[in-house]
Amino acid sequence: MAWYSWMFIFANRMISALGWSDTVGTEHSCGQVVGQLRVTLSRRQFVKRSGWLAGGAVAAALVGCTEDKRPDRQQVQPTQTAEQQVPNAQSVQPQTQQQVATQRQRPDPEPAEQVEQGGETNSALQQAGVEQPASQTQQQRRARPQPARPESPAERRLLVPDVVQDGHELQDPAFEPISGARVEYGDIDGAGYRIEMPEQWNGDLVLWAHGFRGLDEEGTGFSRRLTFDDIPARDVIIGQGYGWATSTYRVNGYVPGVGVDDLLRVKDRVAELARPPLRTYIAGGSMGGATAQLMAQEFPGEIAAALAFCPAMGNVWVVDYIAAWQALAHWLIGEPPSRLDVDGMLEWAEALGTSHGSGLSLTPLGEQFAALIKTFTGGERWGFDEGLRQQWDIAFSLGVTIWPDVVASGSPAPGEVIPVSRELPPADTREHIYSADPVAGIDVQRLNEEVIRFGSDPDRRHDPGVGIPTGELRAPMLALKTTGDLFTPIHLDRDYQRMLQESGWERNLVVQTVRRAGHCTFSEREALAGFTAIVSWLSFGFAPAGDDLQGDLSLVGTRFTDPFDEDDPLRPES
């Protein structure tokens, strides 16, 4: 049996240990257990007795257990069961528009209240869809707002209304259901979609947002093949009664806005096939995590919460980072690359160092480059060196999307601002002040005067389709980030956390860090703990614990890392 199945068994054992075993297994066990939760224990007592992880596991086990407050559940009837090997789209019985419109009027269940560290009762999720920041008065905070209502598909705006598809190839969307589930698949306006629903659906849906698709085989542009990523731990998701759905998106590249639009269309498809979901989560990794953040910002009425793995937090900020990587390398090397393909970019990077399986061999200039990147991405922290090795070839290869703009401007002069073409995400590094550890021996004043800058049209920097953060996170979001991620570095999460603190929306964001190198290198235990934590947040009203990223990052992540690296100095003694 997989380890994550034991977590749900553990939840049931926790119920027994806490004195509710007489209710488990009876006809109305869910309602009775929830009733016992409310009557016999305060929330503080429950957490004290069970612990945060157990609380999250119990929450996961009890998801959908408020039958008296939810409409009767119905089975979804998509195209294919595990026993039916031939797809049959005619077996789906869509609902009428009147039925769908009626069911859309049902809001998500109201969130539970939160007990803050100071002991005052507040609404944990009160900002979801409410146009008031978290800095409102205590009396206003106690008022329970009405949950945001989703817009109808006809009324909902598109973040990216004009998507140009040019020669894209769609992966076959057909796939096999797991036992006890049915599937539906196809395409909507050129974007492939997959939907899988358990035969006994609990009414909740998880939208899975895929990550950045990378370059084509020639290494000169973005891939034109539109492909799927099925949701991780698919058997657990289906086994616990959740449905899930995903999309290829209509185009590749850094397109979080397109991802939001296309995933909401798939959610609409679920409503047509069965009914509007009672509660919708969005989860995603890398650019998919940024897509989750963007949906929580722009469409809080469409989701209950977001779970972002290794997100490109701040969205287009990660493009600024890749542009800065290229600019810093150019300043140290002293000339642009001679060839604008992947091989040419890696040859250019050899002046700084070479990545190989056993490590990263840096030249003296490369040592200075590493010092600049370390400071840029958050400073000293566990996993940086190995993360830099893993990211080295990737980041330099992505220069093929940036350097054509530089070359088109001729040989760049010191400090020149390079206009970013409209075909690329609107990177902008004009305001950044670079710094480095004095030990690196870098003249940072000269660096900031001479390094080339990238500039984009201000209107494009405020286009919601490219994911510019507004400082309003209007649905709860849990983000997981490894300390040694150099693809979507932790400074993005730090800066976004600070933005929300300054704007008053910080209570809707929890960041949990894991002490490990690499991008999206979470263990299964860490990933599932994130999902149970977000479910617990909604079901019990307790915001999960998180990390404050505004200080020294060398010590963060000890609470959420499982397992630790063998050589991590903060690894607990066994």
On the question of pLDDT at 42 being above 60, the answer is no
Residue 224, in any domain of the structure: no
Q: Distance between CA atoms of 373 and 389, rounded to whole angstroms?
A: 12
Sheet holding 305-309, edge to edge: 80-81, 181-188, 191-198, 243-247, 204-209, 279-285, 305-309, 477-484, 509-517
Name the β-bridge partners of 193: 186, 247
Pick from 123, 167, 170: which is nearest to 147 by CA? Answer: 123
Residue-wise pLDDT for 170-212, tens only, equals 999 999 999 999 999 999 999 999 999 999 999 999 999 999 9
Dihedral sign computed on CA atoms, order 94, 295, 248, 531: negative
Amino acid, res. 200: Q
Predicted TM-score (pTM) of the model is 0.76
Residue 439, in any domain of the structure: yes
Q: Which of 409, 441, 461 is the last residue of a domain?
A: 461
pLDDT for res 80: 42
Phi/psi at 520 (5° precision):
60, 35
Q: Distance between CA atoms of 204 and 95, rounded to whole angstroms?
A: 18
Helices 384-397, 364-376: axis angle to 10 degrees equals 100
Q: What is the mean pLDDT of residues 447-453?
A: 98
CA-to-CA separations, 97 to 94, 204, 264, in angstroms, rounded: 9, 21, 17
Name the β-bridge partners of 333: none
Other C-beta atoms closer than 10 Å to the C-beta of 284 total: 29
- Split into its structural domains, the chain has a count of 2
Pick from 262, 274, 271: which is nearest to 282 by CA? Answer: 262
Residue-wise pLDDT for 77-102, tens only, equals 444 433 333 333 333 333 444 443 44
Residue 26, in any domain of the structure: yes
Per the CB < 8 A criterion, the answer to whether 494 and 550 are in contact is yes
Residue-wise pLDDT for 110-120, tens only, equals 333 333 333 33
CA 31 from chain centre, in angstroms, equals 32
As a three-state string, the secondary structure of 313-338 is CCCCHHHHHHHHHHHHHHHHHCCCCC
Residue-wise pLDDT for 233-273, tens only, equals 899 999 999 999 999 999 998 899 999 999 999 999 999 99
Question: Would you list the DSSP string of 117-147?
Answer: TTS-EEETTTTTT-SS-TTS-HHHHHS-PPP
Q: Which of 461, 492, 526 is the last residue of a domain?
A: 461
Phi/psi at 129 (5° precision):
85, 10
Q: Which of 11, 37, 69 is the last residue of a domain?
A: 69
Question: Would you list the DSSP string of 349-418?
Answer: HTTTEEEETTEEEE-HHHHHHHHHHHHHTTSS-TTHHHHHHHHHHHHHHGGGGTHHHHHHT-SPPTTPEE
Its domain, for residue 375, covers 318-461
Residue whose entry in the numeric block shows the structure tokens 């709860």: 476
Helices 524-540, 3-15: axis angle to 10 degrees equals 40
Per the CB < 8 A criterion, the answer to whether 171 and 248 are in contact is yes
Residue 275, in any domain of the structure: no
Residue 194, in any domain of the structure: no
Dihedral sign computed on CA atoms, order 95, 101, 105, 108: positive
Read off the DSSP letter of residue 20. I
Q: Distance between CA atoms of 221 and 551, rounded to whole angstroms?
A: 38
* Length in residues, the chain: 574
Phi/psi at 281 (5° precision):
-105, 150
Q: What is the mean pLDDT of residues 379-389?
A: 98
pLDDT band at 149 (very low <50, low <70, confident <90, very high): low
Residue 404, in any domain of the structure: yes
Residue 97, in any domain of the structure: no
| Cα dihedral 521→526→529→531 (10° resolution) | 0
Residue 427, in any domain of the structure: yes
Residue-wise pLDDT for 57-75, tens only, equals 433 333 333 333 333 333 3
pLDDT for res 428: 96
